Structure 1
Amino acid sequence: MKRRNFLATAAAGSAGLASGYASAGHPNGQKDFQLKYNINHSVCQWCFSDIPLEDFLKTLNALGIKAIDLIGPKDWPLLKKYDIHCSMCNGAEISLTEGWNNPKYHEQLVQNYTEIIPQVAEAGYTNLICFSGNRQGMSDYVGLQNCVDGLSKIMPLAEKHGVVIQMELFNQIDHPDYMCDNSLWGVELCRRLGSDHFKLLFDIYHMQIQEGDIIRSIQTYHPYFGHYHTAGVPGRHEIDETQELYYPAIMKAILDTGFTGHVAQEFIVTWENKIDALKDAFLRCDVERT
């Protein structure tokens, strides 16, 4: 299921769930949930959007998870209340399909990011997401230069405030026509911009579908990857034995690069107990350093 469609349907299943999750900070087996914290764990809120955000933050606190992804400015005060870090901010983008590769969106995007970047810094956060947008008949070479032209207008502000703009990589199955759909294109964009304040959000699920060879990509291009998302392939579900990726090895590869950012779980839960599924994912990714 696509991120842009999920929020529209998730609310239909929210009735009757809130009371159960309000006390989910102490699920069965809580005392056995012990993390090593070699990985800086996070989770994408939209995957658990049927749980009231405040209840979900309470649960994260109980689990010892101190970060959450894809939260905008209006909810940052709530994160502050529960001492949860926003490891990937949003709110400046127009949409996943209307992005920096198209000059007709540059004026609005520059305005949006100029407004949000100082807010991210003031809140004590670092990462702000962005998207390439869809091709719509445009060549990748033209779109690449368009991204450079547009993003160059906000990079001085990002650098001034210590904010890292991160463009997410998507696959063509879930997001047909999206331009930033492979590591090489994204890496070339990073190289042309030439700023440590522009990175790629390497979504492991998306890139396993699109190009595979995940560990080699991490080993080769890790200087350009500023953040990671997880999910199982196929189906974007749990990262357990039902899927083809072996996440402990992937996490060790990430650690071996010296990465100190966040890895956020972004899978659609199929388990009856959503918090148990999340705990299981954290434990699978909570590897030892080699």
Structure 2
Amino acid sequence: MKRRQFISASAAASVGIMACKNTNAMSVKDEEETTKLKGNINHSVCRWCYDKIPMEDFLKSLNELGITAMDLTGPEDWPIMRKYNIHASMCWGAGKGILEGWNNPKLHTELIADYERVIPLVAEAGYTNLICFSGNRNGMPDDEGLKNCADGLKKIMSLAEKHNVVLQMELLNSKVDHADYMCDTSAWGVELCKQIGSDNFKLLYDIYHMQIMEGDIIRNIQDYHQYFGHYHTGGNPGRHEINDTQELFYPAIMKAILDTGFKGYVAQEFIPTWDDKIAALKEGVTICDI
């Protein structure tokens, strides 16, 4: 299942109650002890990349790996996550998905009502981060879309501040995966943060997506880290494992993030190709655990 399909399906459920193979990889199920992590990086993982693994089995694996959080989950997931002491590090359940977002003023009334409904739910559950999207351009100039996003989001910032919820707009590439998506560069997203002017609005900096759009990952982290509230990983090209099969060197990237004083979460969002997908996840976390 592609992420766009997964988001659409999960959003619908929320409203209601909301290949390379590595046959030599050792499964974490064969290990007797929980993986020991260094504690410098707060590790998370995006559920949609492992959606074929039953939720409870996946949560047990996260406990074994020492991963304490999971991204892109909604109210329907939170009770079982609490059972396994897994934090919801990036919530969803509000909005209309990636294609239709805050750059369209015709959607503001609907979006505002939806976020006003979900923000208190996130806070009541004890979580902080709630994702949002710019939407596609559909012929709209970037400066117009930026103003539209700022105008709409400002109307819910007081509620977010009241509940200590941080709205995070994700930076996505418009070259490979999300054609026409507007929030596709750090500069555009940072300018939006400046126009909104609230600590309760940040950017979800997706390293995979921004490598495709602009590169210069470490410099951008150093220059704009105060506007980045969350990070996603992924190997480029292909969005697969983050090892030496791809062009990014994640230990150096993680060091750059750590050097900024970042205390939030870094979530693995690569699509595993190994037969043992949990072993692939373990490798990714180990690479990032500096």
The reply to whether residue 59 of structure 1 matches residue 57 of structure 2 is no
| Runs of 4+ with deviation above 2 angstroms | 5-9, 28-34
Matched, 1:151 2:153: yes
Change in CA separation of 1:6 and 1:161 when aligned onto 2, cut-off 3 Å:
closer
Q: CA deviation at 1:33?
A: 3.4
Q: Could you tell me which amino acid in structure 2 is paired with residue 280 of structure 1?
A: E
Which amino acid is the alignment partner of residue 239 of structure 2? R
Match of 1:50 in 2: 52
Structure with the bigger RCO (C-alpha within 8 Å, sep 6+) is 2
In 2: Cα distance, 1:30 partner to 1:230 partner: 28
| SS at 1:199 equivalent | strand
Question: 2:216 & 2:31 partners in 1: Cα distance?
Answer: 35
TM-score, scaled relative to structure 2: 0.91
2:261 is aligned with 1:258: yes
| Corresponding residue of 1:243 | 246
1:25/1:63 contact within 8 Å kept: no
Percent identity of paired positions between Structure 1 and Structure 2: 67
Number of matched pairs:
273
Aligned 1:133-152 pairs, distance under 5 A: 133-152=135-154
Aligned partner of 2:180 in structure 1 is: 177
Q: What secondary structure is seen at the aligned counterpart in 1 of 2:76?
A: helix
- Mapped to 2, the partners of 1:111 and 1:274 lie a distance apart of 38
Question: How much has 1:36 moved relative to structure 2?
Answer: 0.4
- How far 1:29 moved relative to its partner? 4.3
> Does residue 228 of structure 2 align to residue 225 of structure 1?
yes
Give CA deviations for 1:229-282 in whole Å, capped at 9, x if unaligned: 000000000001100000000000000000000000001110110010000000
Whole-Å separation in 2 of the counterparts to 1:99 and 1:63: 35
Change (3 A) 1:88 1:110: same
In structure 2, distance between residues paired with 1:227 and 1:8: 22
Alignment partners' CA distance in 1, 2:81 and 2:273: 26
Match 2:89 to one of 62, 87, 90: 87
8 Å CA contact 1:229–1:266 kept in 2: the answer is yes
Counterpart residue identity of residue 212, structure 1: G
Unmatched 5+ stretches in structure 2: 10-25
Match of 1:20 in 2: none
Aligned residue number for residue 131 of structure 2 = 129
Q: Is the 8 A contact 2:34 2:63 kept in 1?
A: no
Q: Distance in 1 between the 2:3 and 2:81 partners?
A: 22
Partner secondary structure for residue 112 of structure 1: helix
Match of 2:20 in 1: none
Contact 1:42–1:265 (CA under 8 A) maintained in structure 2: yes
Gaps of 5+ in 1: 10-23
Q: CA RMSD in A?
A: 1.8
**TM-score of the superposition, structure 1-length normalised?**
0.91
Distance 2:205 2:8 in 1: 25
* Residue of structure 1 equivalent to 2:202: 199
How far, CA to CA, are the matches of 2:34 and 2:74 in structure 1? 33
Aligned partners of 1:25 and 1:62 also within 8 Å: no
